[in-house]
């Protein structure tokens, strides 16, 4: 009797390619904003409501991390009700943090609220080592004593005051997470903190607006210099997460790669300037139908070059999806990944589908081919899994995608949304006992 591997027993996505899509997609709230806003809710000891929260495995896991700290969290529809008044535990459980890098962002709020935080190092993942030195050095500049022992970051505020001090901090790299950690920590510090060379991503701005709605004093979010004046405490908030710009970009590419016209809403078009410009260079037009609704009108795709950069440059989270599109574009393209050191896991899988991609370090040279063919492939990380779905939609024949736990971390019902557009896509359950989506951790519902 042959024993199948865990990957083989888990659910897979089956996609029959070559079908045009049509219709409108409803975009969910942004994963990379919802997760950090959940961390930010620790800053206040009153009720917080966060709306437009996507249904994702990562959101469920972040909910478990907060619950482990003594936070009461319930979900009703698309809203999270969070009550951190009884925040008591300063140590986050390793088995949860190791599964969700974003949970490391709680270190800033925890330290600011309790004066102590013990967070396991999140460790690396498929796309890179993911160090946290910028977070640590920034907290040290604010007066925290931070030691890393046995894989855990021990941070505490020495002395009786138990409050961080405002500081002028230059970030060697405009790290999104470090900017968010330090901005949150600074909201309750004594004095003024200036973050220089700060990240400018829309999710950073969303977090700043969330904190300001709780009474924080923050200015300059969205630029490379953010100034935070500490306040004694923060209060209740009811806040809606911005739309997910990476989900929007993924569906725009779905339209381009299947030569289909699609409408997407709600969208903040300004969050996608680089993505829309690149789609135009490749041959697809993106029209703003209303202030928060986009429509893609595809054209014949031609090769172009892409270099991923911190915002407002081309987003690394759209690199894999655009590579899928460029495999079918006329001519050669070069993609350079400058943000993460190992974000090319999707190349080998796309080549299994007949793509012609060669990599050298963080460069990929893509030679357009007339068609892709369906094949069994394995997703290596979240955005690679989205790229394989997009390739499967355009390929001739059937594509079977394993590794759906990656996809379920970051997309809210991607296959359901694609099905509504006419895609031939279905989730095929593995053997009995295989982990399926229904077994994902579920937050208590109110
Ligand atoms: C956030 O990760 C996003 N995740 C990522 O989205 C996104 O790709 C990334 O920002 C860049 O936009 C969340 O918001 C939960 P970084 P983050 O700190 O904060 C180096 C997705 O697919 N670095 O800006 O971890 C780091 O190694 C995910 O949705 C340090 O060297 O990204 C990387 O090379 C993937 N030291 C670069 O900076 C540090 O202390 C960018 O990382 C921190 C980061």
Q: How far is the CA of 174 from the centre of ligand 1 (A)?
A: 9
Locate 120 and state its tokens. 């396991």
Q: Which atom of ligand 1 is nearest to the CA of 130?
A: 27
What is the total residue count of the chain?
446
- The active-site residue, picked from 48, 125, 156, 211, is 125
Is the pLDDT reported for residue 181 higher than 70? yes
Locate 366 and state its tokens. 């893509």
Q: Which atom of ligand 1 is nearest to the CA of 175?
A: 24
Q: What is the pLDDT of residues 93-117, one digit of tens each?
A: 999 888 898 999 999 999 999 999 9
Locate 394 and state its tokens. 């355009």
For atom 26 of ligand 1, the residue with the nearest CA is 130
Q: How far is the CA of 178 from the centre of ligand 1 (A)?
A: 9
For atom 8 of ligand 1, the residue with the nearest CA is 317
Q: What is the pLDDT of residues 182-230, one digit of tens each?
A: 999 999 999 999 999 999 999 999 999 999 999 999 999 999 999 999 9
Q: Which atom of ligand 1 is nearest to the CA of 311?
A: 12
- Structural contact between residues 174 and 198, judged by C-beta atoms closer than 8 angstroms: yes
Burial call 65-86: b when 16+ CB within 10 Å, e when fewer: bbbbbebebebeebbbbbbbee
The mean of the pLDDT values for the chain is 94
For every residue of 401-427, DSSP letters joined together read EE-HHHHHHH-SSHHHHHHHTT-EEEE
Q: Which atom of ligand 1 is nearest to the CA of 180?
A: 19
> What are the angstrom distances between the C-alpha of 69 and each of 48, 219, 347, 349?
16, 30, 40, 40
* Average pLDDT value for residue range 78-104: 92
- Structural contact between residues 65 and 42, judged by C-beta atoms closer than 8 angstroms: no
- Structural contact between residues 294 and 249, judged by C-beta atoms closer than 8 angstroms: no
Q: How far is the CA of 171 from the centre of ligand 1 (A)?
A: 13
* Average pLDDT value for residue range 332-336: 98
Give CA angle at 29 (26, 33), nearest 5°: 155
For every residue of 139-173, DSSP letters joined together read HHHTT-EEEEETTEEEEE--SSS---B--EEE-SS
pLDDT band at 126 (very low <50, low <70, confident <90, very high): confident
For atom 25 of ligand 1, the residue with the nearest CA is 177
How is residue 3 annotated by DSSP? Answer: P
Q: Rounded to whole angstroms, how far apart are CA atoms 40 and 34? A: 10
**How many other CB atoms are found less than 10 A from the CB of residue 378?**
18
- Structural contact between residues 230 and 143, judged by C-beta atoms closer than 8 angstroms: no
Q: What is the pLDDT of residues 405-427, one digit of tens each?
A: 999 999 999 999 999 999 999 99
Helix, strand counts (H, E) of the chain: 15, 23
pLDDT band at 237 (very low <50, low <70, confident <90, very high): very high
pLDDT of residue 2: 56
Locate 378 and state its tokens. 């394995």
Active site residue 156: no
Q: What is the pLDDT of residues 335-353, one digit of tens each?
A: 999 999 999 999 999 999 9
> What are the angstrom distances between the C-alpha of 72 and each of 16, 35, 46, 418?
43, 16, 11, 35
Which protein residues touch ligand 1 with a CB less than 6 Å away?
A: 31-32, 35, 102, 128, 130-135, 173, 175-178, 199, 201, 203, 316-317, 339-340, 382-383, 410
Q: How far is the CA of 241 from the centre of ligand 1 (A)?
A: 19
Q: How far is the CA of 397 from the centre of ligand 1 (A)?
A: 36
In the β-sheet with 217-219, what is the strand arrangement from edge to edge?
A: 168-170, 192-196, 225-229, 217-219
- Structural contact between residues 378 and 10, judged by C-beta atoms closer than 8 angstroms: no
For atom 30 of ligand 1, the residue with the nearest CA is 131
pLDDT band at 441 (very low <50, low <70, confident <90, very high): very low
Return the CA Rg of the chain. 22
């Amino acid at each position: 009797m042959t024993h199948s591997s865990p990957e083989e027993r888990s659910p897979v996505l089956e996609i029959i390619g070559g079908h045009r899509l049509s219709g409108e997609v409803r975009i969910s709230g942004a994963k990379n904003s919802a997760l950090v806003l959940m961390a930010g809710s620790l800053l206040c000891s009153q009720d917080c409501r966060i709306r437009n929260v996507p249904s994702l495995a990562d959101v469920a896991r972040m909910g478990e991390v907060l619950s482990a700290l003594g936070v009461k969290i319930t979900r009703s529809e698309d809203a999270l009700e969070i009550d951190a008044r009884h925040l008591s535990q300063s140590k986050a459980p390793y088995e949860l943090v190791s599964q969700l890098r974003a949970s490391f962002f709680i270190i800033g709020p925890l330290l600011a609220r309790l004066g102590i935080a013990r967070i396991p190092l999140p460790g690396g993942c498929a796309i890179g080592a993911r160090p946290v030195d910028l977070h640590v050095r920034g907290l040290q500049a604010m007066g925290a004593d931070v030691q890393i022992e046995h894989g855990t970051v021990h941070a505490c505020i020495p002395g009786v005051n138990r409050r961080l001090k405002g500081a002028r901090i230059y970030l060697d790299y405009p790290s999104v997470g470090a900017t968010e950690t330090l901005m949150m920590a600074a909201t309750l510090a004594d004095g003024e903190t200036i973050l220089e060379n700060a990240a400018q991503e829309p999710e950073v701005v969303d977090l700043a607006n969330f904190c300001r709605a709780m009474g924080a004093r923050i200015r300059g979010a969205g630029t490379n210099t953010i100034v935070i004046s500490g306040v004694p405490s923060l209060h209740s908030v009811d806040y809606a997460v911005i739309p997910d710009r990476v989900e929007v970009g993924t569906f725009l590419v779905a339209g381009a790669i299947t030569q289909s016209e699609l409408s997407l809403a709600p969208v903040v078009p300004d969050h996608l300037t680089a993505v829309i410009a690149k789609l135009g260079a490749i041959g697809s037009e993106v029209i703003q139908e209303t202030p928060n609704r986009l429509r893609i009108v595809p054209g014949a795709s031609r090769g172009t070059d892409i270099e991923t950069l911190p915002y407002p440059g081309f987003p690394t989270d759209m690199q894999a999806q655009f590579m899928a599109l460029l495999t079918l574009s006329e001519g050669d393209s070069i993609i350079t990944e400058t943000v993460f050191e190992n974000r090319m896991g999707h190349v080998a899988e796309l080549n299994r589908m007949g793509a012609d991609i060669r990599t050298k370090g963080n460069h990929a040279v893509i030679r357009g081919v007339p068609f892709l063919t369906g094949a069994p492939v394995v997703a290596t990380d979240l955005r690679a899994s989205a790229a394989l779905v997009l390739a499967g939609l355009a390929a001739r024949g059937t594509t079977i995608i394993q590794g759906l736990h990656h996809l379920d971390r970051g997309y809210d019902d991607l296959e359901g949304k694609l099905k509504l557009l006419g895609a031939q896509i279905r989730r095929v359950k593995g053997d009995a006992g295989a982990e399926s989506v229904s077994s994902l951790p579920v937050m208590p519902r109110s």
